[in-house]
Chains A and B, each alone.
Chain A
Amino acid sequence: MPELVGPPVVGLTVVEVDGCFHIFNPATKRAVALNETASQIWRLSTGEHDVDDIVAALAEHYGLGHDDIEKQVRATIDELCAEGLYAEAATR
């Protein structure tokens, strides 16, 4: 079973400025600012892509190797998950 990432939990307030997202989670009452890379990961966190898909997309975008960025992508997904931004059972 692939590790599908997302979808976002319902009820978030998501705004985008210059390609970067700010997300307010009413459940935690926290606003999270995503940098450009994290925003790209968030954009792909629809529940339809697994971690390898996202790593591949970012590796292509930045012209880097899969192994070069996999650790960072996984860490970012873990942070987004810890912020409660993904629907609970969806990211695995």
Chain B
Amino acid sequence: MTAPVSHRLAVNLLGSVFEVDTDDAATLADVRRLWQPFLEAAADPSGAAAVAVRLDEASAPQRLQHFATAVNAAALDAAPHFAVHAGVVAYDGVAVAMPAVSGTGKSTMTAACLRRGFRYVSDEALCLSYDDGAVLPYPRPIALSPWSVDAVGASDRGIPAVDEFLFTAEDLGSERQAEPARLGNLVILDRREGAAPALSPEARPNGVTLLLQLSFNHYRRPEDAVRLAADVIAGAVVWRLEYSDPLEAADLLWTSFVGERPQP
């Protein structure tokens, strides 16, 4: 009888380093694939002490869910940036942020945007540098419910977690935004059953309020957070997106922000 072999892997999320510890090689391979952008960062010596995350749940989906939830919450709380609950995509170095609380469709809209040509920044957090307001990529795995997988026509490459599937940007036919971007558009999601997609201007002060209300960590640097939220919104356009179908809505965002698609 042989003792289980422990497999370890380090990831660096927004400056927090986590060391995965599991006996299951397949789980480690899934973590390696889904958190690949963060492996590169972990390889760059940051001096941060690693937090061990032991994955010993009974099933692979449970292990992945545990890891995704644990490291996301810890990383965002400790992030040295102003982090806001939002889906974020980009085009030509310009970020589109869709701030929203969990369960309101931001991951689905993010995935739909990737299916329609945008690059991936994050399905979870708009991370703004306190230094210059740049949007910093946080390309964690995109978590989609079975309904969302169907709604955006996602491939079958998603890896099962608990009640959802995890995808990379490449799984959805896109790629991640590797460089910092500039916040150009903030889109307030307004999903209504049966509504045709419509994009209308929204008062910018409402965007400032939303960023502050949905921030993970503004309490760490509240004065700076208020100033930063106002600064980035002053340089952006705030919209309200009424929609029902995520892919139709993503098409509207693309044609509104990027331009007409070339005809095949």
Q: Identify the A interface with B (CB < 8 A).
A: 13, 15-18, 20, 22-24, 26, 29, 31, 33, 35
- Bound complex: CA A22 to CA B227 (Å): 9
- Assess whether B222 is in contact with A20, with CB atoms less than 8 Å apart: no
Q: Give a binary string over B202-235; 1 marks a CB under 8 Å from any A CB, 0 the rest.
A: 0111011100100000110011001101110110
- CB atoms of A22 and B212 under 8 A apart: yes
The contact of A26 among B205, B222, B233, by CB within 8 Å, is B222
Q: Are A31 and B226 in contact (CB under 8 A)?
A: yes
In the assembled complex, the Cα of A16 lies from the Cα of B231 at a distance in Å of: 9
Q: B222–A17 contact, CB under 8 A?
A: no
A64 to B194, CA, bound (A): 41
Give Cα A17 to B238, complex, Å: 12
One of A15, A16, A31, A35 near B222 (C-beta < 8 A): A31
Classify chain B's interface size: 10 to 19
With a cutoff of 8 Å between Cβ atoms, the chain A residues found around residue B205 in the complex are 17-18, 20, 22, 33, 35
7 contacts between A and B (CB under 8 A): A17-B204, A17-B207, A18-B204, A22-B208, A23-B226, A29-B222, A31-B222
What residues on A are CB-neighbors of B226 within 8 Å? 13, 15, 22-24, 31
Asked if A15 and B212 make an inter-chain contact with CB atoms under 8 angstroms apart, the answer reads: no
Q: How far is the CA of A24 from the CA of B233 in the complex (A)?
A: 17
Q: Give B184-205 interface residues, CB cut-off 8 Å to A.
A: 203-205
Q: Which of A16, A20, A23 has the most B CB atoms < 10 Å from its CB?
A: A20
Bound: A26/B227 CA distance, A: 14
Closest to B209 in A: A33
Say yes or no: B234 contacts A17, CB within 8 Å: yes
Chain B residues near A31 (CB, 8 Å)?
A: 212, 218, 222, 226
Which residues from A are CB-within-8-Å of B230?
15-17, 22
* Beta-carbon contact of A22 and B209 below 8 Å: yes
Is the beta-carbon distance between B222 and A22 smaller than 8 angstroms? no
Q: Tell me the complex Cα distance, A18–B226, Å.
A: 15
Inter-chain contacts of B207 with A (CB < 8 A): 17
